Structure 1
Amino acid sequence: MAFDFSALRRFPDVEAPNLQAWDATDELLVQRALDADVAGDAIAVIGDEYGAISLALTDAGMQGIRVHQDLITGRRALAANARALALALPAAHELDSSLLTGARLVLLQLPKGLAELEEVADAVARWAAPDVTLIAGGRVKHMALTQNQVLASYFAHVQPQRAERKSRLIVASGALPVPDQPRFPVSRQHDGFTLSAYGGAFAGARLDIGTRVLIDVMGTLDPPARSQLRRSEPFQPSEAPIGGNQGEFSGVVNARPLRVVDLGCGTGALAVAFAQRHPDAVITATDRSASAARSAQATVVANGLAGRITVTLDDAGSELPDGSADLVLLNPPFHLGATVHEGAGQRLIQAAARLLRPGGEVWTVFNSHLDHRGVLTRDVGPTEQVARTPKFTVTRSIRRG
């Protein structure tokens, strides 16, 4: 295969010697697509983490390929890799009919979770061409028979292929009828609020135990004091004094709303729980996963908080202004795909430091074996432990001036 996969980078995602931007599964999927004799505009690629599949096919002369990536870091890496290789950027889509209508071949890097696989299989069977073939691949050590069973619920023929280079492909064809409405998002009631989740959201509509620990501790912590608006401080129209003009003003007025960021929000549990306890807070919930952001938006709506919580798809809050938050809520991940790696959590801690105003706080929950307290002290400021369970630690850090 002429395409140079080693030229691909993960940036702006975490990069490390043990992390690369492609694997053997990408190469096997590309080769099957090249052998399939299907035009590029009839091919959809799902889970193409950093563009290895779609860019290799584009380099081979295929045009009109459609691609869906859940992570915005992957979307940005695909764009950067396309520029670096002087290749046309494949058309990006969400997991919807625009991605799949007319698709006769769908290439899929198998997701970690069965719920996400079910959502993808439903989407392909629902919107792709009747004669569509889905070719799904993964590393053998991460594959299980339950993945075949999920695919068999949506396709009449599911054929695992022989393993090559520690990867395996599964070929599914003969799409079966699907219900009128997709199963996702699913919802579950918890103490005082509802969680909604699409297939790719971590923990689904369940409340993961780390988030539960921070929610429980939240009720014992006082938010940081809010500064008062002065002539030199910019403000939003919603923060203007009654009867005042937008822009600068003299004197001191009532404290502005508490500005809170739920960084890496997942399904939005922390944002909703905080909003219910603090009705004066204005909250931004942000995540790099499109599935998580869609789930958080559904959770916000389900709890009647659409006017107070804004959900964004972003990489570590990169589109939010420096020093714009009084408080950051943080439950950082400790996996990058299937790899245990602290880099993702450390990136979010660094982002929290950038987002906080001096004197602002970050409340963090993390697995106790991780050295996040040291990173928080270094990058944010003085950090105290406020709670500890056998598995999790909750800390409060104050942004140094």
Structure 2
Amino acid sequence: MSDVLDDLRRYPDVEAPNLYAVDATDRLVLDEAAAALADAADGTVVVIGDRYGALTLGAVARHGVTGVRVHQDRLTGERALHANAERLGLGGFTSHGMTPELVAGARLVLLQLPRSLDALDEVAGLVAEHADPAVVVVAGGRVKHMTTAMNDVLGRHLAVVEARLARQKSRVLVASSPRPASERPARRWPECATHGDLVVCAHGGAFAGTGIDIGTRELLAHLDEVPQTTGTAVDLGCGTGVLAVAVARLRPGMAVVATDESAVAVASARATVEANGVADRVTVTRADGAGDLPDASVDLVLLNPPFHVGAAVVPAAARALFADAARVLRPGGELWTVWNSHLHYRPALEQVVGPTRQVGRDPKFTVTVSTRS
């Protein structure tokens, strides 16, 4: 009989013969949780960190589980789950943010372990506070990315943490028995830190946390040179929203839109915007690139592009954002970009956006301005 896992795709994420929608960790988590899934009552199963739908649709198709609540950080992963479900004629799940409603009353949580210990801390804290006291967390990861610190983080919130035997270079941690509130750490997220007159807020797992990464610092150093004073500015791939807040303060006549496909980034950016008192002029949106912004509707784009997706170096991610910037910029509008100097993005910027000049450079980073042709 065909297994649903064999039919999953990564679409709309990048697809290639060496890229897979399901890995050994997905299969191990589902196998370890099989007995609990078979007995699960409607609405008591939660899935967190599902990449392309393997955990969610595996639970639904293999065990007839219904009412599954799902949280995925990447919008691409969320869309892949829904696309797979539609193509295979499956339902029985709903997508949620990282909120108490996600885990309220849950008795079984299937978790793809995040790389960030802070992200794991936020998940474990939410589960311990809001799930059913009988909840069991089945958390899986690749052995090469796992550390005993993960056991410690889970153990701060759940009293019993057991490591199961590894299989195909993956391992599962099973955690249960939420600690009473008096024994758990105080709720941390979002955390905020002050940098001069700028407050940066971050949820667990946000890139750079409450700090300001050095690439963003390089771009910040040149923002007062931006000529635009009115119209619309976009912080593309906004992370914690530092650039959006900075341009809103420097150019109070501009409306600012901050976009990111990461749910944790969007939640962090919204907190940062609120903390800095610019929520009346900055709109934060979860979107793939520039999302639904109309063509030729924007005067300024600020971009500190990622060159990693997970553990992989993916130059195509930056190039896709360059194309999105080109699409939404009006003729004469400008893309201000900071990038790792060794990546040599200038020819791509010239080709995709338009004439590009350098406004800053050091051994690590280059800051360029590209004018839309």
Give the structure-1-normalised TM-score: 0.88
Residue 25 of structure 1 and its aligned partner are, at CA, apart by 0.5
Partner of 1:52: 54
Matched, 1:41 2:43: yes
Native 8 Å contact 1:357 1:399 kept in 2: yes
The letter for the 2-side match of 1:38 is: D
Rg (Cα) greater in structure: 1
Partner of 1:29: 29
Q: Report the structure, 1 or 2, having the larger helix content.
A: 2
Residue 319 of structure 1 and its aligned partner are, at CA, apart by 1.4
The letter for the 1-side match of 2:245 is: V
Equivalent residue for 1:297, pick from 239, 256, 270? 270
The letter for the 2-side match of 1:302 is: A
Matched, 1:205 2:210: yes
Matched, 1:83 2:56: no
Partner of 2:338: 365
State the distance in 2 between where 1:325 and 1:12 align: 26
Partner of 2:355: 382
Task: Give the alignment's Cα RMSD to 1 decimal.
Answer: 1.7
SS at match of 2:343: coil
After superposition, the Cα gap between the structure-2 partners of 1:332 and 1:15, relative to the gap in structure 1 and judged at 3 Å, is farther
SS at match of 1:9: coil
Matched, 1:223 2:227: yes
Structure 1: which 5+ runs fail to align?
227-256
SS at match of 2:43: helix
The letter for the 2-side match of 1:9 is: R
The letter for the 2-side match of 1:88 is: G
Partner of 2:73: 70
After superposition, the Cα gap between the structure-2 partners of 1:144 and 1:74, relative to the gap in structure 1 and judged at 3 Å, is same
Native 8 Å contact 1:79 1:89 kept in 2: no
The letter for the 2-side match of 1:170 is: L
State the distance in 1 between where 2:59 and 2:18 align: 26
State the distance in 2 between where 1:347 and 1:168 align: 34
1:174-213 superposed matches below 5 A: 174-178=177-181, 182-213=187-218
SS at match of 2:212: coil
Partner of 1:314: 287
Residue 334 of structure 1 and its aligned partner are, at CA, apart by 1.1
Structure 2: which 5+ runs fail to align?
none
The letter for the 2-side match of 1:184 is: W
Equivalent residue for 1:214, pick from 210, 219, 224? 219
Residues 65-102 of structure 1, C-alpha deviation per residue, up to 9 Å, x if partnerless? 11111111111111111111111151111122221122
Residue 193 of structure 1 and its aligned partner are, at CA, apart by 0.8
Give the structure-2-normalised TM-score: 0.94
State the distance in 2 between where 1:56 and 1:169 align: 17
State the distance in 2 between where 1:20 and 1:217 align: 41
Matched, 1:10 2:13: no
Q: How many residues align?
A: 368
Native 8 Å contact 2:68 2:92 kept in 1: no
Matched, 1:129 2:132: yes
SS at match of 1:343: helix
Partner of 2:156: 153
Residue 372 of structure 1 and its aligned partner are, at CA, apart by 2.3
SS at match of 1:41: coil
Residue 50 of structure 1 and its aligned partner are, at CA, apart by 1.2
State the distance in 2 between where 1:11 and 1:211 align: 31
